[in-house]
């Protein structure tokens, strides 16, 4: 992507992403008043808020409105050059038809491999490498959550200090396991998610489960083949009351902490990284600053041999025609379509559609509709071939760029990417969100410098310098790539970990509750 | 219900609930071996586990199997007297057809009012009365949960000790508010739930909300008409970073704690109570001991003028023909049918049906299918007329026995009953579960003495004495009624509150995520 930007910061300034675009977005903080004249001679006819679109030319009613050299809608009324192109002036196009897509017709050529990049990770017996050394305690049912929280407090106070090489203890609590239709076809999604999360590389293979004893999701199903001596069942008749149950959980945790405490960071090639990409609270700058910088960093990761995942079905749906072309082969292209199709049906069953995705915050930030949001969202996947597609909660299988199908919900996407094996997440945000995960570090990237300044103790990386012309996408992408290696190595701590702001796991449970 | 029981405890013993029943359940701990002879002369042909059914007479293939004088299924094969009637020997009947039910044909006569029963409660400005004095901090979106948890720790350490009359501070965090189809028809359920929970009488009318700023569920929608000075929005441009946000939350909490601290317990009539009834981890004794005792206590509460709610649609569905007759009028009967019908459709959409309700624990405990479970479940609603029906999350409107439609999931049911205004819950359990709520005390009642003994520091009340003949349903029901008044008054603390075992709120979100 080539960014055509006018003049300096502080001067009236807009960004046009492609020479064919007939709209551009206003860069200046707090927007620009009517009669503002840009260096190119264009004069604003009304006030245009920051991040919102201005028409660069007259657009007749019904004519296409172009951004990213793609059609984000048609003019709902005649629009004059210099007018604010707000949500009401754009008619949303229909989404690309899934049976008319080109498959693997524009597979990008492989870029030159990047050699010699490493991070300091925790090597696991199965060959994977973690970025943290965490004891995870799984649960087979939500009934045990309160008991585990009680035990967790004691584990953190009484046991964890004995094991200085262990970073943290995390309770994998959730709202599943009973009171659900466990044999319904869609139950596979949350069950697979819980099975796979326990195997995340950051947990070092030391699994344990707290269960109740009468739940539907039996611990044996949660830990196939390994449940033997790794389960504390509260209803076990050997337990004489709550105290005895808590003691049993602590004893099992103590044994596993002792094993994890022997882990040490060692130099691992960057190809051992499994990086998840996500965005939340997007604005019009997401597709101009943070996501392009992340896309550049993602290309660097792919060139270094890492596994990288992007996600969020409802935010790629309207740009799917750009992705199926990029699929490495027709099978991968068809897998992309399969996931889109599944989600179209899922939304329709709930009488919803893709327009449900955009938030008031998105719109306030200048994103008129899901088409514009999607075009800005997929930029973070960079420019390498899409090598694989995962259904929600499946484990990553390949190096390179994978589409891991998830809802766009920050927490569900984060949970599913953890199940897929993600050991570090990069999260771009325009409006700002204090999102964090206990299981893996999250690097929060702001789309605007104003947000990075205001949330100086929440945002880890400022991509807003691209909009003001202080840095290029390439420079910023390299900086972000180096930060990823630093965070993966434990050399730099992200803000959410410094404060301990960690959101709970949130399962994707498309099946009904009983 | 008249319980016909054989002989003493320790002697071989079964319970037949009705003279027309052709099965009875074995009472003795650990079950009884083949050849055991009961006082009546019946001899067991195989081992029968505790709580499981024994045939009292020969039952030909296809003939009805009766318990509670109701048909719980038909014989899948010829069954001989003395045989274990296990799950495989019973064919499940079809559920009652919703268009063929009798409405209000057997409305129970009002029982004599009970005068003079009181509890020590916290009177609210709107006339309601709480059983606890709790500051609740609502959230409009899950994005803020980590931040609120961070602030909550500081509030509990730095502020709460200044206000000795406040029992607790509770964060009403949840997995909703964004990343969902907020305009889908079913979104009304979680939204109404969140709106109404904030108004629970235990929270004293001192509402506050932590929001983000770009979420779909805007705080104004969460607190209609009251949001003005009761919202901390994290993205507010006045906040210079995380520290400033946390300070703002603490300041708002401090003001509300000062108001709540002026509340004092005062004598309130028992008619001010709003009691929720629930069961979880049921076994065959649920319908014989705990639920009948609770039904008797519920009748006492109704006679004292209180509002009482029972719930759990999938556990009443197969006994709905008994409830529509008990409806106080045809409108209430039709409202019962409306909720059953809605749930049938909801389950069908997810390719599930009512058989998804029973758990491995239920079956191990002797409950062959959902019909038998339902018959035992509805007993807890006692014998008074059903005066009203609530859709999920609606506020209670009437004194007397209300059916509040909810899923059977313990946590979703608890959350929805809190939204309906419940200030105390009674929870019966056979297999045992450590369930508890921060917002209202939960009295846990065991169906068996063995569980009450083993879980001496989790179970608050033992109804198992009914099975062994040591106490009658009436005696046990009166004891439970008195315990309810004690707990509501703060004189007796339930075990979940003593340990602080409190499950998170769990919203019922039948609509899709985006
Ligand atoms: Ca996103
Ligand atoms: Ca999003
Ligand atoms: Ca997201
Ligand atoms: Ca139940
Ligand atoms: Ca329940």
pLDDT digits (tens, 9 = 90+) for B127-153: 999 999 999 999 999 999 999 999 999
Which residues of chain B make contact with A182, given a CB cutoff of 8 A?
356
- Spell out which residues have Cβ within 5 A of ligand 1, the ion: A 279, 312, 315, 408
Q: If you measure from the C-alpha of residue B403 to the centroid of ligand 4, how many angstroms do you get, rounded to a whole number?
A: 14
The residues with which B209 forms a beta bridge, in sequence order, are B138, B231
Which residues of chain A make contact with B185, given a CB cutoff of 8 A?
351
The pLDDT of residue A253: 98
CB B469 within 8 A of CB B418: no
Mean pLDDT of B54-58: 96
The alpha-carbon gap from B453 to the nearest alpha carbon of chain A, in Å, equals 8
Task: Report CB contact under 8 Å: A512, B350.
Answer: yes
Q: If you measure from the C-alpha of residue A373 to the centroid of ligand 2, how many angstroms do you get, rounded to a whole number?
A: 9
Q: What tokens were used for B265?
A: 């317990």
Phi, psi of B444 (to 5 degrees): -95, 125
Rounded to 10 degrees, what is the CA torsion of B52, B56, B60, B65?
-50
The alpha-carbon gap from B233 to the nearest alpha carbon of chain A, in Å, equals 11
Q: Which of B215, B362, B504 sits opposite A145 (nearest CB)?
A: B504
Task: Report CB contact under 8 Å: B360, A495.
Answer: no
Q: What tokens were used for B90?
A: 């019973």
Q: Which of A179, A213, A241 sits opposite B408 (nearest CB)?
A: A179
Task: Report CB contact under 8 Å: A242, B457.
Answer: yes
The alpha-carbon gap from B310 to the nearest alpha carbon of chain A, in Å, equals 16
The pLDDT of residue B422: 98
3-state secondary structure of A244: helix
The pLDDT of residue A183: 81
Closest-approaching ligand to the CA atom of A442:
3
Cβ contacts below 8 Å, chain A against chain B, sum to: 256
3-state secondary structure of A506: coil
Provide, rounded to the nearest whole percent, the portion of chain A with pLDDT above 90. 82
For chain B, how far is it from start to end, CA to CA, in angstroms?
A: 50
The pLDDT of residue A5: 46
CB A158 within 8 A of CB A257: no
The pLDDT of residue B427: 98
Task: Report CB contact under 8 Å: B175, A144.
Answer: no
Which residues of chain A make contact with B176, given a CB cutoff of 8 A?
none
The alpha-carbon gap from B178 to the nearest alpha carbon of chain A, in Å, equals 7
Q: How confident is the model at residue B29 (pLDDT cuts 50, 70, 90)?
A: confident
The alpha-carbon gap from B411 to the nearest alpha carbon of chain A, in Å, equals 8
Distant-in-sequence, close-in-space partners of A483: CB < 8 Å, separation ≥ 6: A443, A460, A461, A492
The pLDDT of residue A226: 74
The pLDDT of residue A257: 98
Which residues of chain B make contact with A346, given a CB cutoff of 8 A?
512
Mean pLDDT of B207-216: 94
The pLDDT of residue A167: 97
Which residues of chain A make contact with B502, given a CB cutoff of 8 A?
146
Phi, psi of A99 (to 5 degrees): -95, 10
Nearest C-alpha in B relative to A409 = B179
Burial label, A180 (beta-carbon count in 10 A; 0-12, 13-18, 19+): buried
Nearest to B469 by CA among B23, B21, B133, B27: B27
Rounded to 10 degrees, what is the CA torsion of A410, B507, B430, B357?
-90
Task: Report CB contact under 8 Å: A356, B180.
Answer: yes
Helix (DSSP H) and strand (DSSP E) numbers for chain A: 13, 21
Look up the ipTM and state it: 0.89
Mean pLDDT of B493-510: 94
Q: What tokens were used for B183?
A: 């305009």
Tens digit of pLDDT per residue, chain A (514 long)? 444 444 344 789 999 988 999 999 999 988 999 999 999 999 999 999 999 999 999 999 999 999 988 899 999 999 999 999 999 999 988 888 999 999 999 999 989 999 999 999 999 999 999 999 999 999 999 999 999 999 999 999 999 999 999 999 999 999 888 878 788 888 999 999 999 999 999 999 999 999 999 999 999 888 877 767 899 999 999 999 999 999 999 999 999 999 999 999 999 999 999 999 999 988 889 999 999 999 999 999 999 999 999 999 999 999 999 999 999 999 999 999 999 999 999 888 877 777 777 888 888 888 888 889 999 999 999 999 999 999 999 999 999 999 999 999 999 999 999 999 999 999 999 999 999 999 999 999 999 999 999 999 999 999 999 998 899 999 999 999 999 999 999 999 999 999 999 999 999 988 777 7
Question: What CATH fold (topology level) applies to the domain B1-93?
Answer: 2.30.130
The pLDDT of residue B424: 98
Q: Which of B146, B356, B364 sits opposite A501 (nearest CB)?
A: B146
Q: If you measure from the C-alpha of residue B514 to the centroid of ligand 2, how many angstroms do you get, rounded to a whole number?
A: 8
Residue A134 Rama label (left phi>0; alpha psi -120 to 50; beta): beta
The pLDDT of residue B158: 98
From the candidates A29, A145, A179, which should be mutated to test the interface with B, based on the most B CB atoms within 10 A?
A179
Q: Which of B240, B359, B454 sits opposite A214 (nearest CB)?
A: B359
pLDDT tens digits for range B227-259: 678 999 999 999 999 999 999 999 999 999 999
CATH 3.30.1360 fits B120-265, yes or no: no
DSSP A357-412: S--HHHHHTT--SHHHHHHHHHGGGTTSPEEEEE-TTPPP-SSEEEEE---S-HHH
The alpha-carbon gap from B304 to the nearest alpha carbon of chain A, in Å, equals 33
**Cα B93–Cα B98–Cα B102 angle in degrees, nearest 5:** 100
Q: Edge-to-edge, what's the strand order for the sheet holding B134-139?
A: B168-172, B134-139, B209-211, B231-233
Nearest C-alpha in A relative to B495 = A242
> How far from the centroid of its chain's Cα atoms is residue B205's Cα?
24
Q: Which of A436, A456, A511 sits opposite B241 (nearest CB)?
A: A456
Q: Please tell me which residue, B180 or A407, carries the higher pLDDT value.
A: A407
Task: Report CB contact under 8 Å: B495, A242.
Answer: yes
Q: If you measure from the C-alpha of residue B407 to the centroid of ligand 5, how many angstroms do you get, rounded to a whole number?
A: 8
Mean pLDDT of B341-362: 84
Q: What tokens were used for A178?
A: 């009973």
The pLDDT of residue A361: 82
pLDDT tens digits for range B281-305: 888 899 999 999 999 999 999 999 9
Nearest C-alpha in A relative to B187 = A350
Q: Report the C-alpha gap between A84 and A49 in whole angstroms.
A: 9
Task: Report CB contact under 8 Å: A514, B314.
Answer: yes
Distances in Å between the Cα of B159 and the Cα atoms of B151, B249, B308, B502 are 11, 12, 35, 21
The pLDDT of residue B6: 44
Q: Which of A183, A407, A454 sits opposite B240 (nearest CB)?
A: A454
Element (H, E) at B416: helix B410-419
The pLDDT of residue A415: 98
CA atoms within 13 A on the CB side of B66: 17
Task: Report CB contact under 8 Å: A356, B182.
Answer: yes
Q: Report the C-alpha gap between A213 and A219 in whole angstroms.
A: 9
The alpha-carbon gap from B146 to the nearest alpha carbon of chain A, in Å, equals 5
Which residues of chain A make contact with B346, given a CB cutoff of 8 A?
512
Q: Report the C-alpha gap between A250 and A371 in whole angstroms.
A: 51
Could you tell me how many residues make up chain B? 514
The pLDDT of residue B4: 45
Q: Please tell me which residue, A184 or B340, carries the higher pLDDT value.
A: B340
Which residues of chain A make contact with B240, given a CB cutoff of 8 A?
454, 456
CATH 3.30.479.30 fits A1-94, yes or no: no
The pLDDT of residue A1: 43
The pLDDT of residue A370: 87
Q: If you measure from the C-alpha of residue B279 to the centroid of ligand 5, how many angstroms do you get, rounded to a whole number?
A: 5
Q: If you measure from the C-alpha of residue B173 to the centroid of ligand 3, how many angstroms do you get, rounded to a whole number?
A: 19
Q: Which of B150, B361, B411 sits opposite A214 (nearest CB)?
A: B361
Angle between the N-to-C axes of helices B410-419 and B188-197, in degrees from 0 to 180, rounded to the nearest 10: 60
The pLDDT of residue B405: 98
DSSP A55-83: ESS-B-TT-EEEETTEEEEEESS-B-TT-
3-state secondary structure of A513: strand
Nearest to B358 by CA among B370, B343, B376: B370
Which residues of chain A make contact with B500, given a CB cutoff of 8 A?
146, 150
Average pLDDT, chain B: 93
The alpha-carbon gap from A446 to the nearest alpha carbon of chain B, in Å, equals 13
Residue B317 has pLDDT above 70, yes or no: yes
Nearest C-alpha in B relative to A282 = B214
Which residues of chain A make contact with B172, given a CB cutoff of 8 A?
none
């Amino acid at each position: 992507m080539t960014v055509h930007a006018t003049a300096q910061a502080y001067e009236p300034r807009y960004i046009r992403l492609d020479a064919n675009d007939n709209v551009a977005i206003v860069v200046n903080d707090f927007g620009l008043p009517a009669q503002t004249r840009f260096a190119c001679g264009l004069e604003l006819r009304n006030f245009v808020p920051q991040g919102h679109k201005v028409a660069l030319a007259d657009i007749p009613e019904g004519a296409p409105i172009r951004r990213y050299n793609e059609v984000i809608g048609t003019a709902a009324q005649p629009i004059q050059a210099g007018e604010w192109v707000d949500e009401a002036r754009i008619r949303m196009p229909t989404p690309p038809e899934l049976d008319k897509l080109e498959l693997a017709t524009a597979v990008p050529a492989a870029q030159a491999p990047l050699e010699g990049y490493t991070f300091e990770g925790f090597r696991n017996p199965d060959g994977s490498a973690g970025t943290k050394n965490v004891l995870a305690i799984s649960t087979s049912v939500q009934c045990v959550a309160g008991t585990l929280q009680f035990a967790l407090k004691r584990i953190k106070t009484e046991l964890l200090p004995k094991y200085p090489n262990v970073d943290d203890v995390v309770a994998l609590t959730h709202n599943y396991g009973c009171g659900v239709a466990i044999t319904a076809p869609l139950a596979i999604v949350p069950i697979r998610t819980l099975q796979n999360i326990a195997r995340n590389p950051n947990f070092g293979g030391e699994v344990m489960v707290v269960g109740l004893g009468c739940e539907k999701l039996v611990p044996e199903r949660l830990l196939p083949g390994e449940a033997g001596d790794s389960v504390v069942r509260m209803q076990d008749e050997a337990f004489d009351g709550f105290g005895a149950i808590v003691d049993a959980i602590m004893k099992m945790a103590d044994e596993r902490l002792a094993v994890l405490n022997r882990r040490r960071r060692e130099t691992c090639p960057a190809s051992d990284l499994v990086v998840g990409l996500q965005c939340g609270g997007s604005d019009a700058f997401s597709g101009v600053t943070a996501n392009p910088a992340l896309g550049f960093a993602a290309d660097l990761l792919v060139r270094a041999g890492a596994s990288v995942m992007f996600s969020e079905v409802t935010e790629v749906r309207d740009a799917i025609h750009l992705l199926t072309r990029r699929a490495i082969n027709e099978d991968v292209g068809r897998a992309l379509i399969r996931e889109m199709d599944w989600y179209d049906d899922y939304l329709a069953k709930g009488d919803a559609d893709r327009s449900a995705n955009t938030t008031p915050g998105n719109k306030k930030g200048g994103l008129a509709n899901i088409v514009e949001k999607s075009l800005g969202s997929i930029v973070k996947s960079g420019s390498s071939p899409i090598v694989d597609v995962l259904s929600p909660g499946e484990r990553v299988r390949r190096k390179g760029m994978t589409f891991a199908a998830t809802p766009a919900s920050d927490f569900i996407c984060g949970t599913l990417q953890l199940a897929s094996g993600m050991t570090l997440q990069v999260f771009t945000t325009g409006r700002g969100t204090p999102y964090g995960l206990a299981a893996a570090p999250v690097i929060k990237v702001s789309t605007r410098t104003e947000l990075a300044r205001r949330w100086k103790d929440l945002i880890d990386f400022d991509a807003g310098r691209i909009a003001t012309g202080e840095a290029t996408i390439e420079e910023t992408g390299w900086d972000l790539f180096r930060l990823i290696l630093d965070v993966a190595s434990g050399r730099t701590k992200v803000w959410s970990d410094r404060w301990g702001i960690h959101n709970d796991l949130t399962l994707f449970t498309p099946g009904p509750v009983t």
